Amino acid sequence: MSIEYLHTMVRVKDLEKSKAFYELLGLEESRRMDNDKGRFTLLFMSPPGQENAAVEMTHNWDGDEGLPSDSRHFGHLAYRVDDIYAMCQKLMDAGVTINRPPRDGHMAFVRSPDNISIELLQRGDPLEPKEPWASMENTGHW
C-alpha cells in the first residue's frame, strides 16, 4: 500500500491577494478550476517543477465570513528557501510582517493574508546570524 502527497488546502477570502502573496514566495499557478454550480474557485499553486507540493486555495464566491480566523488547528505550510534572509527581506519590502524572524539563520514564520502560518526554512546549514534579523523581536504569533 502506497501513499502520495497531493496538496494542502486553505480557504482564502481574497483570491487575488492570496495569489500575490504566494507568488512572493516563488509559487506559480499550476491549475485552476472554477465551479459555477458550487460557486467556488480552486486555485493550485506550487514551486516551479514541484506540482506535487501544491497549495490548493479554495475561494467561495459568496464570501466566507469566518475568514480570516485565527484558528490554529490548521498548523502551517513549510517551504525550504535558498536564502532565508533574502526571502524575509523580499516579504518585508512587500509589507509582510515577519512574525518569527530568522534570528538563527535557519527558520522564520510569516502569515498569509488569510492568516495561514507559513514556515520558511534555510536550505542546508543555517546562515550566520546577522542584523537586523539577529536582534529582531517576534511580532504576534505563528
Strand partners, 125: none
pLDDT bin (cut points 50, 70, 90) of residue 22 is very high
Measure the CA–CA gap between 140 and 134, rounded to whole angstroms. Answer: 17
Q: Which of 28, 56, 119, 137 is catalytic?
A: 119
pLDDT, greater one: 117 or 31: 31
pTM of the model: 0.75
Which of 32-46, 64-78, 110-124 is predicted most confidently? 32-46
% of the chain surpassing 90 pLDDT: 64
28 is catalytic: no
Q: Which residue carries 534579523 as its cell?
A: 133
Calculate what percentage of the chain has a pLDDT beyond 70: 93
